[in-house]
Amino acid sequence: MSDLQNVKYNEDNIRTLEWREHIRLRPGMYIGKLGDGSSADDGIYVLLKEVIDNSIDEFVMGHGKAIDIEIYEGVVKIRDYGRGIPLGKVVDCVSKINTGAKYDSKAFKKSVGLNGVGTKAVNALSKHFSVAAYREGESKVAEFENGVLIYESKIEKTTKSNGTYIEFTPDESIFKNYKFRYEFVENQLWNYAYLNAGLKLNYNGKTMVSKNGLLDLLERKVNTDTLRYPIIHIAAEDIEVAFSHGEQYGEEYYSFVNGQNTTQGGTHLAAFREAVVKTIREFYNKSFDSRDVQASIIGALSIKVEEPVFESQTKTKLGSINISPEGQSIRSFITEFLKTHLDNYLHKNKDVADALLRRIQQSERERKEISGIKKLANERAKKAALHNKKLRDCRAHLNDTNKKIDDEIKLATTIFITEGDSASGSITKARNVETQAVFSLRGKPLNCYSMTKKVVYQNEEFNLLQHALDIEDGIENLRYNRVVIATDADVDGMHIRLLLLTFFLQFFPDLVKQGHLYILDTPLFRVRDKQKTYYCYSEKEKQAAIEKLRGKPEITRFKGLGEISPNEFEDFIGENIKLDPVILKDKTNIEEVLSYYMGKNTQERQDFIIDNLKVEIDEVVDQHFVQESLETVEEALV
């Protein structure tokens, strides 16, 4: 009989957890993946969102026109000027599950938060959490540690304006090595501004406000000089859309439900994509291929519905719902809206209609031009897949290759793109086989700047890579949430990194813009003696480690990933993984960036290289490495 069969199962095994214990034990159920802040959907940003959502709901109900947000050294402070939490329920609202006003549809008809969990999760997952409510000249304060109440004031007189103040510090034992990234927070707050015209969000001294909603969003996101026609912006009660076509490959969307950024889309976004195609086909009376209509589109959609049904607690994907007592679906609602308003717009704006038609026809020509090459490339990819060792897939996909995996599991999936057998071998042995995959490149990829998409199908490495990611027809079916470039910390490694960045920016910019691309940060040095080992990511960290160890420590410089043993690598791609997200600033002109760094040699670029390689000695990783870089980096960029 096995040990498992001997385990007793009786009344003593049944345990009821307190609300905070359950949240701390299973945080993923409430805020999705934890992370360290290197990804826009990491848990610390969900904590921020859960608090601000309540302030937004107050604004939507007509109370309070500003929200103040401060984030310094991991401490978050949020003050709104709404009605304030009813003083007798301050403690309950932040510490009792299923307690709140969101269940009363009269008070919060189209609210973001509907389940009464959000702020409680923030409380339970913070090492320190305090709340203060101000109502009609009175106030009440409560303080918690790890969700446990440590102080509760009496109701007192105050001269402060109505509203709620919340301060919290995420628990570092749960959010390990976390860091709020300014770019992600600012983007999150700008989305609130676009969806709530007139609301002022004051963040660390900067004010964000919007007058034109989704039109402002797209104008901030893209360089309008690259658009084929002015942004079409249409709004009505409970729905707002904006879109145009550019020159980039792929599609780019920003979708929202009741102010919530649905980064994973859902039924509303699928309906919008279908409705645009249907309306355009009917307007031009032509049976366009949907891919030609959707190619190079950049769009934004916002809808408001009562009691939306999301597919997870983090509310990033809308489920299937009806939006009226008569049973009208999201699909029919959006289709009818566009059929009327987009059709009217195109009839009234002939120049826009003509430009749109020309863009669709261009996409059609480009698609037909590569159709033959694409067919042959797909056949080669299928044959290669039978014997291919380039992709060591994760079990999340291998367990059921014919079905889409669960969205929550997909969020945890990662693929490492490596070069060479030694590097890919180390990562393959060290990875979490359930959720981490490895794709091994052979040699340096092609510099594909200024080339057409034909090269993706003609080049075996690129063709197999796009099939491994399943992005041939766009990133909607992207198989991994995180695509990680893992190259050696030498000149060749930097060169390969640049070439891969060029590939993704040239042909799949939406993969980068939607936050899926990362650079793996691995240690440069190992400093150890018989008792202690330190892994250091810079010369400064190396010197600090040497000072901590007594005697003369052993110092190893890792120049290649293959030099790091699988046992060591397990830590660097596991719980303590360090990833640098590839972030494109708003209005970045990708063509100009690639031309500058990857185009033909220019004096401007030579001057830039010389000026920026004058590094301070405490930032130098290795003097020999820097000298080598001076001699070869120009060649690597061409």
Whether residue 376 is contained in a domain is answered as no
| Residue 581 CA: distances (Å) to CA of 123, 143, 190 | 28, 35, 20
pLDDT 10s digits, 440-467: 988 889 999 888 888 898 898 999 999 9
What integer pLDDT is reported at residue 630 of this predicted model?
42
Banded pLDDT at 313 (limits 50, 70, 90): low
Same-domain status, 457 and 422: yes
Asked if residue 230 belongs to a domain, the reply is: yes
Q: Are residues 225 and 189 in the same domain?
A: no
CATH code at 442?
3.40.50.670
Task: Give me the domain span that covers residue 469.
Answer: 388-522+559-599
Q: Give a yes or no: residue 529 inside a domain.
A: yes
Domain count, the chain: 5
Q: Is the pLDDT of residue 48 over 50?
A: yes
The phi-psi region of residue 238 (left if phi > 0; otherwise alpha if psi is between -120 and 50; otherwise beta) is: left
In a domain, 1, yes or no: no
125: amino acid identity, one letter: L
Stated pTM of the model: 0.81
User: 499 CB contacts (<8 Å, ≥6 apart)?
Assistant: 444, 445, 446, 447, 448
* 419 and 356 in a common domain: no
Query: Do 553 and 588 have their domain in common?
Result: no
Decide if 410 is inside a domain.
yes
Q: Rounded mean pLDDT of 374-397?
A: 79
pLDDT band at 17 (very low <50, low <70, confident <90, very high): low
Residue 290 shares a structural domain with residue 350? yes
- Return d(Cα 89, Cα 100) in angstroms, integer: 9
Residue 592 included in any domain: yes
Domain co-membership, 227 together with 238? yes
Is residue 632 scored above 50 in pLDDT?
no
Domain end residue (candidates: 143, 178, 208): 208
Residue 3 has pLDDT above 90, yes or no: no
The per-residue pLDDT for range 205-254, each reduced to its tens digit, is 999 999 999 999 999 988 888 899 999 999 998 899 999 999 888 899 99
pLDDT tens-digit map of 320-334: 766 665 667 888 999
Helix (H) or strand (E) holding 591: helix 590-598
Say yes or no: 460 and 589 in one domain: yes
Do 280 and 228 lie in one domain? The reply is: yes
Are residues 445 and 516 both part of a single domain? yes
Phi, psi for 125 (deg, rounded to 5):
-100, 15
CA–CA gap between residue 232 and residue 217 (Å, rounded) = 12
- CA separation (Å) from 259 to 93, 111, 417? 22, 8, 35
Taking the C-alpha atoms of residue 267 and residue 252, their distance in angstroms, rounded to an integer, is 16
> Same domain for 166 and 82?
yes
Note whether 270 and 299 are same-domain residues.
Answer: yes
Interval 573-602: pLDDT, tens: 887 888 999 988 887 888 888 888 888 766
For residue 619, the model assigns a pLDDT of 43
Higher pLDDT, 606 or 213: 213
- What is the average pLDDT across 109-131? 77
The answer to whether residue 420 scores a pLDDT higher than 60 is: yes
Looking at the structure, tell me whether residues 286 and 147 fall in a common domain.
Answer: no
Residue with tokens 């430009």: 355
Q: Which of 18-27, 73-82, 570-579 has the lowest mean pLDDT?
A: 18-27
